Amino acid sequence: MADWLAVLDRVGAQRPSLLDLQLGASTLFAAATYPERVRSVIGSNLRASFPEVRGMSWEQRKAYAVWLESKRGLEAFNPRVAHDPAVQRWWGRARRLSCSPEEFARIMQYGAELDVDALLEHVHTPALVFHRQNNPIWDIETSRATAARMPNCHFVELAGSETDLFFGDMEPVLVEITRFLRECELPAIDDDRPLATVLFTDIVSSTERLAALGDRTWRAVLDEHDGTVEQIVARFRGRVVKKLGDGMLATFDGPARGVRCAAAIRDAVVEHDLEVRAGMHTGEIELREGDVTGLGVHMASRISALAGPGEILVSRTVVDLTGGSGITYDPCGDHELKGIPGAWPIFAAHVPVPSPM
């Protein structure tokens, strides 16, 4: 998403419509996180997750990539055009140029672990989703049900059996896209309620440390802590919203960077003989004169209160949106969060140590 924003800024695109042929997590996340930068989204074969590939081994995924670029892969995905030699040549070349079997296996691994179900209700941007009736690969009812979860989504069922939108009868596709771009009502830019990852950190046993060190020494320790935290948050492209005495509130536009930032803070403050606890949640927040409020903030605060020394606890939403990142999680059971109805599954995050260069 950072690459996408950099391209938009470089070419001066203020608020484009995004065409994602296989409408997926990156585009939906961009629309939810930066509603002021996305006019609308268009795509096909919408799914929140890909459980079908979760049990595949690395070698099976590589073999699948090789199969996909072959004539048999073309026949499976787009049977009505597979007889055409020109299409066969183009299909194999396009697949080989897009990525290697190893890279495709990594993409499949990422998709296997990802689940954006919790993200759908936050995509308020107008969306147009296509699906062909006899698609042999992706189920139309799953696509329809997923589209129904998005507040401003128009679902179009097309005749044909092609998986790829650019094969088959293109006239109804172009007609629908043209009508959508001309007639869809563009909602007011609600950039005061973006999707964000909220991180709370808190120094463990701060009162006891204050009593042992005294006000002046403790103030110096806090100043060092605050400077370290601010540097680390900036490194992970987050924003420190405010300091909370012996803690900090920050926001990120990507949950994986938020989790890694929390781990980096935890490891860095050990040098100051400190321990921190951290809690995180990804959800809509409200921006108010430099501060943030809303249910997403309260969720992160309540989760942080459950954490022990050195722990990074996160909500199920963070787990689902960081699939394929290399971060692992241990379930900590369901917990009631003060003031928030229901019981919520909580997870402890574990960030792998980077390999030495």
CATH code assigned to 2-183: 3.40.50.1820
- Per the model's pLDDT, the better-predicted residue between 89 and 212 turns out to be 89
pLDDT band at 273 (very low <50, low <70, confident <90, very high): confident
Q: Residue ranges per domain, the chain?
A: 2-183, 195-350
pLDDT band at 131 (very low <50, low <70, confident <90, very high): very high
Please tell me the least confidently modeled range out of 62-76, 144-158, 342-356. Answer: 342-356
Region 195-215: what's the mean pLDDT? 85
pLDDT digits (tens, 9 = 90+) for 113-123: 888 888 898 89
Q: Is the pLDDT of residue 240 over 80?
A: yes
Percent of all residues in the chain with a pLDDT value above 90, rounded to a whole number? 54
Look at strands 286-288 and 328-337 and give their pairing: unpaired
DSSP 40-103: EEEEES--SB-GGGTT--HHHHHHHHHHHTSHHHHHHH-GGGTT-HHHHHHHHHHHHHH--HHH
Give the end-to-end CA distance of the chain in Å, rounded to a whole number: 26
Q: Is the pLDDT of residue 356 over 50?
A: no
**Neighbour tally for 130: CB within 10 Å:** 23
pLDDT band at 18 (very low <50, low <70, confident <90, very high): very high
What pTM, to 2 d.p., does this model score? Answer: 0.77
CA angle 193, 328, 237 (to 5 degrees): 40
Percent of all residues in the chain with a pLDDT value above 70, rounded to a whole number? 97
Q: What is the pLDDT of residue 357?
A: 42
Q: Is the pLDDT of residue 43 over 90?
A: yes
pLDDT band at 187 (very low <50, low <70, confident <90, very high): low
Q: Rounded to an integer, what distance in angstroms lies between the CA atom of residue 343 and that of residue 357?
A: 43
Among 3.40.50.720, 3.40.50.620, 3.30.70.1230, 3.40.50.1000, what is the CATH number of 195-350?
3.30.70.1230
Please tell me the least confidently modeled range out of 124-128, 177-181, 261-265, 269-273. Answer: 269-273
Please, what is the average pLDDT of the chain?
Answer: 89
Region 246-255: what's the mean pLDDT? 90
